[in-house]
Amino acid sequence: MTNTSLNRATSLKKWFTIGIGVKRWFFALFVSVLCEALGLVFGTLHLLGVPGFADAPMRGWLLTIFFLAAGFVLFVLALIGFSTNILAPYRTQLPAPIIDVVYSHSRRNKGTKVVAVGGGTGLPAVLKGLKAFTSNITAIVTVADDGGSSGRLRRELGVLPPGDLRNNIAALSDDENLMTQLFQYRFQGGDIDGHSFGNLFISALSGVTGSLEKALVETERVLNIKGRVLPATLADVTLSAHIQLPNSRKPVIIHGESAIGSANGHIEEVYLVPRTVEAYHGSVQAILNADIVVIGPGSLYTSILPNLLIEGITSALRSTSALKVYICNIATQPSETIDYNVADHIIALEQHIGRGIFQIVLANNAYPVRNAGENTHYVLPAPPNHEVAQRYEIHYTDLVDTERPWRHDPQKLVKAILSLGVTEYA
């Protein structure tokens, strides 16, 4: 007997082991089928007028109804009992009730396909709003981060920075879930001071599974998120920039996302090192299959452009038939977009990736003073008759989070996206 046959025989034998609670339901299922068959037989004999049935019609109908009903009840009980015993070992491992897991899995394969591209703290606002309308969400985030916990793990362990991935996974999960809160927990003190549990978890899982791709799948399963979070690339990239510093006669080259964000100069160009890297195939496929692609919000130079500088991502954006929307930031960002208006953001994107990447621009037109503070400087509308208005549809509306007016309100943001014509969410 071959090993395969032996394994099959052993597995079959296990089904009949005493005490696992399966045999009784197999037997009940067999009896239910037998009852249904008897009910059909009695009904057929009665209709054909077979002696013993034609002269006692009531008895024939009663026997038919009895066996059909008994068979149906036994079948339902056997199905419930069998499935309960089969799923029992998995219940303790599931992050939610079985019906919720099945329902979530079903929803992911239906409805409008939404792809959100960005990173930092801006993209989670989009995801938090979208997850109330659809589970078919794919977030594509940058892996150029080199600061904080992500930067330390990147330098010390040689892993791709997990910070942006973690934040967006948390945004797609249940905020009240204990695992979500644990995922966002940040340690204080000791050798792991400043590290978030989620960053350590993703890094460790990457080592256990052998790849970041598998680690993300397992992380999403643990948190039972509504959607997917994918890297723009699996390559080890560094974001670099030509920056005009206040006291410098010519632009200087600065390497590293964190250094660029704190350089306090005028950014003339950002680029990836190496300049040519392969886009993650899952991200490219998600864009090509999307119904709508949302670009931003987020830091223009250090969160959004690092994704768009990957040729495979921009090629997919040009090729997809999806509606493509760029969401402009609400407030300017020190060291990146000081004094920028909406048009300046668009022009900066065009200078790096060309025109035609998106069709619509969604921008804020509410500038509250309450809770803003002296450091909040709003991104103002494009000047009247500016050239960008000839190339894009620019929609202005109130997108402000009144408690933190420098950020987008997730509900307002999604309502504005839906108003652009994307109305069929499942």
pLDDT of residue 386: 94
Name the one residue in this structure whose structure tokens are 């897991």. 101
pLDDT of residue 365: 96
Q: How many residues in total does the chain contain?
A: 426
Mean pLDDT of the chain: 86
What is the band of 426 on the pLDDT scale with cuts at 50, 70, 90?
very low
pLDDT score of 135 more than 90: no
The C-alpha atoms of residue 261 and residue 41 are separated, in whole angstroms, by: 80
Q: What is the pLDDT of residues 380-403, one digit of tens each?
A: 999 999 999 999 999 999 999 999
Q: Are 272 and 309 in contact (CB under 8 A)?
A: yes
pLDDT of residue 140: 96
Least confident of 18-32, 340-354, 361-375: 18-32
pLDDT of residue 55: 60
The C-alpha atoms of residue 292 and residue 286 are separated, in whole angstroms, by: 10
% residues pLDDT > 70 (the chain)? 84
Strands 228-231 and 137-141: parallel
pLDDT score of 424 more than 50: no
Higher pLDDT, 76 or 366: 366
Mean pLDDT of 150-174: 89
- Complete edge-to-edge strand list for the sheet that includes strand 238-244: 252-255, 238-244, 266-273
Higher pLDDT, 123 or 12: 123
pLDDT of residue 248: 82
Higher pLDDT, 101 or 309: 309
pLDDT score of 125 more than 70: yes
Top-ranked range on mean pLDDT: pick from 52-61, 138-147, 194-203, 321-330 = 321-330
Q: What is the pLDDT of residues 250-303, one digit of tens each?
A: 899 999 998 998 888 899 999 999 999 999 999 999 999 999 999 999 999 999
Q: Which CATH architecture has domain 100-142+278-426?
A: 3-Layer(aba) Sandwich (3.40)
Rg of the chain on CA atoms, in Å? 29
pLDDT of residue 8: 65
pLDDT of residue 6: 62
Q: What is the pLDDT of residues 59-118, one digit of tens each?
A: 667 777 888 888 888 888 888 877 777 766 655 555 556 666 666 556 555 668 999 999
Residues sharing a CB contact under 8 Å with residue 297, sequence separation 6 or more, in sequence order: 118, 122, 123, 125, 126, 327, 328, 329, 330, 408
Q: Which helix (H) or strand (E) holds 139?
A: strand 137-141
Q: What is the pLDDT of residues 316-355, one digit of tens each?
A: 999 999 999 999 999 999 889 999 999 999 999 999 999 9
CA distances from 354 to 284, 339, 350 (A): 19, 22, 4
pLDDT score of 358 more than 90: yes
Which has the closest alpha carbon to 63: 46, 47, 80, 42?
42
Q: Are 422 and 113 in contact (CB under 8 A)?
A: no
